[in-house]
């Protein structure tokens, strides 16, 4: 089973550092399901995982911008040069936020949370890694 939703302990550890100043870049590693897996009773037309992620992206792109964030990079994985056997990703996204606080504001918004159902339905596995610059650039 993949890692799709953040656990409460990790979110709390992230939130505990919310007062740190400065931008962060969130590294998103994404592996899509062949067919999106929506919760029972959720009204969504059947689609692929990639298509469900596109539905999520419509909300996410807007809310990222509204909290001052930007998409730095989005690309399809061509080949994993160094990785454990069987660990494969479809896409990589780098999203810059002005602060940890901005990221927390975004994920706490009701409109973002309503759209996140598409993310959960879309993904077979994911990683979300918070980074901060150690070299100016």
Residue 36, token pair as written in the block: 């999106």
Locate the domains of the chain by residue range.
8-34+43-131
Residue 36, CA atoms < 13 Å, CB-side half-sphere:
25
Contact predicate 89/80, CB 8 Å: yes
Query: pLDDT exceeding 90 applies to what percent of the chain?
Result: 80
| Residues paired with residue 125 on neighbouring β-strands, in sequence order | 31
Q: What does CATH list as the number for 8-34+43-131?
A: 3.30.70.100
Tell me how far apart the alpha carbons of residues 127 and 31 are, in angstroms, rounded to a whole number: 9
* 77-125 tens-digit pLDDT: 999 999 999 899 999 999 999 999 999 999 999 999 999 999 999 999 9
pLDDT at 136 over 70: no
Model confidence band, residue 8 (pLDDT cutoffs 50, 70, 90): confident
pLDDT in tens, 26-51: 999 999 999 999 999 999 999 999 99
């Amino acid at each position: 089973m993949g890692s799709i939703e953040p656990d409460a302990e990790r979110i709390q550890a992230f939130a505990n550092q919310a007062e740190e100043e400065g931008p962060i870049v969130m590294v998103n590693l994404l592996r899509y399901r062949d067919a999106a897996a929506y919760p029972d009773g959720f009204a969504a037309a059947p689609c692929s995982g990639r298509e469900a992620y596109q539905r999520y992206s419509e909300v996410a792109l807007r809310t990222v911008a509204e909290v001052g964030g930007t998409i730095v990079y989005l690309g399809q994985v061509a080949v994993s040069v160094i990785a454990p056997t069987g660990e494969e990703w479809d896409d990589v996204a780098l999203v810059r936020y002005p602060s940890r606080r901005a990221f927390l504001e975004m994920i706490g918004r009701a409109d973002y949370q309503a759209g996140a159902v598409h993310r959960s339905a879309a993904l077979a596995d994911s990683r979300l890694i918070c980074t901060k610059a150690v070299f100016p650039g």
